[in-house]
Structure 1
């Protein structure tokens, strides 16, 4: 074979190899076209109107008001939030505020799921279908704790989504979102599941699905699909420092959403299980101080009086390792599991108390509508000092014990430095336990403090403004 012919053959072979690699790479990437075509008709745009008082007229001392009427709703809403509010002028007119979000139809007779924050405080809710037709929706019920709302529109044979099992999702799996970011209807974005069972601040009852799917304002309430075209979550929140998408999106699992929707449809409200405890995370130092092999479980920092936990024998300092056989790895796992239980049902707890494992059986209560409040402590009484920790403590008065529902404890009257200052103790903090021992007086506190071990994690239970938590520290040689 001549040299030119050899070069030509090698070039052709290289081209074939490159085409083959491209075909393999293409085959490994998912094709979303069929999924989008089939699912899109059941995804809706949701707009709301809320009647608000007209702002004061010009000359009332307010800054000049820009004309917002020609702006798109999303920009008008932004400017309205940025402009200082003024009292309504006597006899003033009503103005309308609009918001945009997404949702999806779950039944052919017109039930629609979306986020609570999309429709909260709305006087009118409009659902726009994929064919651009608009239907007025009735709010069946909403649950702020899970951020789920159930709507109903009048219709027959409406397109519906297929519902999937969020618990079957795997980290790394492809997922897809359809919604109306910034009002752009039926925008499609895709990514993967980044994590499962995420807990967010002030969102104790939802084990969020974390994804890297691009979610922006207007996507809220829209569906998250798996590759089978099944809805596995409701896109709800993003983590952002810029106001836009930064790669962290959070969806409500459909197992949670449908449980909420079924309760809203049946009774108009949602009931959840309740233990009546305040818990905190078990870190490495706390695990060492409580005799645990590794950081795991939910540490009971406070047991509410007359709550299910108190009646079932759960105590401050217990570390809950499992509930009905379900392991508690992170403390945030516990509210998710308890919340799914019905009031009156039995719960089996596996706990560690004073270094020994034991089982407790108790009856789950119903989560109250409003949170319990605990009174804060002051400081008075005869002072005792412990120079080893660097604090002065005082006895609690009978009134303080009654207000805090305590049998013992001491209040910190002065922080002199040393370990107490390093771990952030403040005057007014109430210490109820030190090194896993109950503190019933200033004398007991001093005795326990003087006998603390060196170079080993020591725990201390502190009440600050009525909230209890365990902290750890080590004393040097």
Structure 2
């Protein structure tokens, strides 16, 4: 084809192309752009930066999975239970006379097996898992992904947060690196790793679907539950408990703890303890043997209050956590925070709910200084607060044998002592489902008078005798309204 024949073809093609682009921009382009703007071409604030390029996480998770699987363990436990403990509780009179036991109803020791998962956090064998995975276990076995098996011992546990640390005697182990759960965003990809349903190491993927969730499930094992879960839709089933949740960089961002399910198996949501809470509690358990729990010293309004209740209680609407009251001589009171304020920030981290606040405070110890942002009468303030322990001091709290009993104890008041004809004693006000007392036939209201035959008249004397007693203890006492002395032998456990 000659040049003079080619040139018209090129010109026609160019004109057609430019014409198509002009027509698209005029008639179609505006319509498309209007999907992300108003009539004035203003992009909504919630889309700020979105159209500049989405920083999406990689969809190939092989590297993250390969990093996490060797550091995720299968935990198997064995516990000996007494069959009679599952029978309905009886009147203390039956314990006194013992005539309601048939020959076929004698207590029997039955072994119970359970399993869960755990995350190795150090090369020398420290492993973090859920408290409910190892609670009450007489024997703990840890299996690695390479089929090696070890016996483990319990280092310490914290029922309030449902965390526990166990230890195996090994060196040079693979372990997970800590991430930062404050950086976790709703919508980001995450992986759950564990041993569900007694399967081999299993990895599931999902996204973070919510943060700062509370389920009140830890109340089953503690009177002071700590909950601020990361919610994901990564499939988690029985056996995943205690296993890691990781980001796409392979970093630990939480310990899987629970699922929301009407059937007991995965139904769409799982809940994870944030790694920032895990780091602090694990460090406390390894250093002190018990958690150094910090308190801000306020009572706050629950997040789910109805408008009717808010009106009745005089609770105002506003962003943050509404302060119902401040504890006398508490940290908040000393810093000037008072009833009616809204807590909005803790060390510059936004606080929008009670769960947000609990999750942030749980990462600090008594004596730590934090900056609390709060709003009062429409104005924002910042105050430096020195957090305190439950006793109102900044002292280190040492673990006590009383912590293992699972009971609320108090001194017998003078009126009750006179009615019972005793000089004093310790009354058992309530008994948790976990702890040494729950393994006996003891009832709430029992008044403890002797520990291993030595008389006690107060909680302080009771603590002193229990510290001397060791693992095996016999408690003697009475029930108000009943005659006779009741005896409860029990094992405190390690």
Same fold (TM over 0.5): yes
TM-score by length of structure 2 reads 0.57
Which ranges of structure 2 fall in alignment gaps of 5 or more residues?
Answer: 1-55, 88-100, 219-224, 392-402, 410-494
Q: Which residue of 1 aligns with 2:70?
A: 41
Q: Distance in 1 between matches of 2:211 and 2:353?
A: 13
Q: Distance in 1 between matches of 2:66 and 2:102?
A: 49
Q: Distance in 2 between matches of 1:280 and 1:110?
A: 42
1:98-117 equivalent positions in 2, closer than 5 A: 98-117=113-132
Q: Which residue of 2 aligns with 1:197?
A: 212
TM-score by length of structure 1 reads 0.59
Q: Distance in 2 between matches of 1:223 and 1:88?
A: 48
Q: Which residue of 2 aligns with 1:327?
A: 350
Q: Distance in 2 between matches of 1:190 and 1:46?
A: 22
Residue 247 (structure 1) aligned with residue 268 (structure 2): yes
Q: Distance in 2 between matches of 1:36 and 1:44?
A: 14
CA contact (8 A) 2:58 2:248 kept: no
Following superposition, the deviation at residue 162 of structure 1 comes to 3.5
Aligned length, in residue pairs: 318
Which of residues 315, 325, 344 in structure 2 aligns to 1:302? 325
Following superposition, the deviation at residue 157 of structure 1 comes to 1.8
Q: Distance in 2 between matches of 1:367 and 1:93?
A: 40
Q: Distance in 2 between matches of 1:356 and 1:210?
A: 33
Q: Which residue of 2 aligns with 1:122?
A: 137
Residue 226 (structure 1) aligned with residue 241 (structure 2): no
Following superposition, the deviation at residue 305 of structure 1 comes to 3.8
Structure number with the higher helix fraction is 2
Following superposition, the deviation at residue 180 of structure 1 comes to 1.5
Q: Distance in 2 between matches of 1:262 and 1:358?
A: 32
Following superposition, the deviation at residue 104 of structure 1 comes to 2.0
For the residue of structure 1 that corresponds to 2:228, the secondary structure is strand
**Are residues 277 and 224 of structure 1, via their aligned partners in 2, closer, same or farther at CA, if it must alter by over 3 Å?**
same
CA contact (8 A) 1:55 1:87 kept: no
Q: Distance in 1 between matches of 2:102 and 2:196?
A: 33
How big is each residue's C-alpha offset from its partner over 1:250-270, in whole Å with a ceiling of 9 and x where there is no partner? Answer: 111222212211111111111
Which of residues 280, 293, 296 in structure 2 aligns to 1:275? 296
**Are residues 326 and 177 of structure 1, via their aligned partners in 2, closer, same or farther at CA, if it must alter by over 3 Å?**
closer
**Are residues 205 and 53 of structure 1, via their aligned partners in 2, closer, same or farther at CA, if it must alter by over 3 Å?**
closer
How big is each residue's C-alpha offset from its partner over 1:135-182, in whole Å with a ceiling of 9 and x where there is no partner? Answer: 110111111122111110011222323333333333222211221111
1:74-223 equivalent positions in 2, closer than 5 A: 93-201=108-216, 205-223=226-244
**Are residues 172 and 324 of structure 1, via their aligned partners in 2, closer, same or farther at CA, if it must alter by over 3 Å?**
closer
